[in-house]
């Protein structure tokens, strides 16, 4: 069983930065991890993903502003978010899927989820 715990959310003004963390209970050799977000009244959308071999992918809306990274020694996934706007306000979730190649960055493809951390950006 894989357990994920997010932290690092909060309130920030537009243009500011936040770094989210996701501690994973265990990581097998083959995994894909991702950050998703869900704003009120909207579907959960993929933000960024990271594969076990180092590949990354980003949603167009966050490219050049967000960076996904991981510290394997600490079993921790990060999401550095810069130049935040009000449109980035959402609950952010960490997700994991155990497979050798990352699936499409859609919520139904991921099995394990954290409880979420709220990010609020004021304009």
Residue 7 has a pLDDT of 97
pLDDT for 9-61, tens place per residue? 999 999 999 999 999 997 777 889 999 999 999 999 999 999 988 899 999 99
Residue 75 vs residues 3, 13, 34, 87: alpha-carbon distances, Å: 11, 30, 14, 29
pLDDT for 57-113, tens place per residue? 999 999 999 999 999 889 999 999 999 999 999 999 999 999 888 999 999 999 999
Residue 85 vs residues 13, 28, 44, 58, 66: alpha-carbon distances, Å: 8, 35, 18, 17, 12
Residue 8 has a pLDDT of 98
Number of other CB atoms surrounding residue 111 within 10 Å: 11
Residue 99 has a pLDDT of 87
Q: Are 106 and 47 in contact (CB under 8 A)?
A: no
DSSP annotation of 101 = S
Number of other CB atoms surrounding residue 15 within 10 Å: 11
Does residue 6 register a pLDDT over 90?
yes
Question: What 3-state DSSP class applies to 109?
Answer: helix
Bridge partners (DSSP) of residue 80 are 19, 67
Residues 6+ apart with CB under 8 A from 37: 44, 45, 47, 88, 90, 91, 92, 93, 119
Residue 72 has a pLDDT of 85
């Amino acid at each position: 069983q894989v357990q994920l715990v997010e932290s690092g959310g909060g309130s920030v003004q537009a243009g500011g930065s936040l770094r989210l963390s996701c501690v994973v209970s265990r990581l097998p050799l083959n995994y894909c991890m991702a950050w998703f977000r869900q704003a009120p009244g909207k579907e959960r959308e993929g933000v960024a993903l990271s594969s076990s071999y180092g590949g990354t992918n980003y949603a167009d809306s966050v490219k050049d502003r967000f960076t996904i990274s991981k510290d394997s020694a600490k079993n921790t996934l990060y999401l550095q978010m810069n130049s935040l706007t009000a449109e980035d306000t959402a609950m952010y979730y960490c997700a994991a899927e155990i497979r050798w190649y990352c699936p499409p960055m859609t919520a139904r493809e991921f099995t394990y989820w954290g409880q979420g951390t709220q990010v609020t950006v004021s304009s």
